[in-house]
């Protein structure tokens, strides 16, 4: 539950998931542990979000801009075989 601890904790409580062991049960009930994990997530996000933006999301945006046209390469081949198109 390190990533997005607050969301994970709230979902576990809401849906009644059971802890795997005694340590997990204690962590689930410990408000100080929860607060520290949430703060850890915020600090980690401040360091890693810019990397995620640069390394992942930027590439996803480029891929979306370069998305193939409907029909793709197969559509172009059919057009040439039928005499239509360039």
Q: How far, in whole angstroms, is CA 61 from its chain's centroid?
A: 15
| DSSP secondary structure of 5-62 | HHHHHHHHHHHTPPPSSHHHHHHHH-HHHHHHHHHHHHHHHHHHHHHHIIIIIHHHHH
In a domain? residue 20 = yes
Q: Is the pLDDT assigned to residue 29 strictly greater than 80?
A: yes
In a domain? residue 18 = yes
**What is the span of the domain harbouring residue 51?**
5-81
pLDDT digits (tens, 9 = 90+) for 40-62: 999 999 999 999 888 888 888 88
Q: Is the pLDDT assigned to residue 21 strictly greater than 80?
A: yes
pLDDT grade, residue 1 (50/70/90)? confident
In a domain? residue 86 = no
In a domain? residue 14 = yes
Q: Tell me the pTM.
A: 0.62
In a domain? residue 25 = yes
Instruction: Provide the number of structural domains found in the chain.
Output: 1
In a domain? residue 34 = yes
């Amino acid at each position: 539950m390190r990533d997005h601890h607050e969301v994970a904790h709230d979902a576990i409580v809401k849906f009644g998931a059971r802890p795997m062991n005694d340590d997990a049960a204690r962590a689930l009930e410990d408000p100080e542990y929860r607060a520290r994990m949430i703060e850890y997530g915020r600090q980690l996000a401040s360091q890693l979000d810019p990397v995620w933006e640069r390394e992942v999301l930027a590439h996803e945006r480029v891929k979306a801009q370069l998305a193939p046209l409907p029909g793709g390469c197969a559509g172009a081949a059919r057009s040439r075989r039928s005499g239509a198109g360039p």
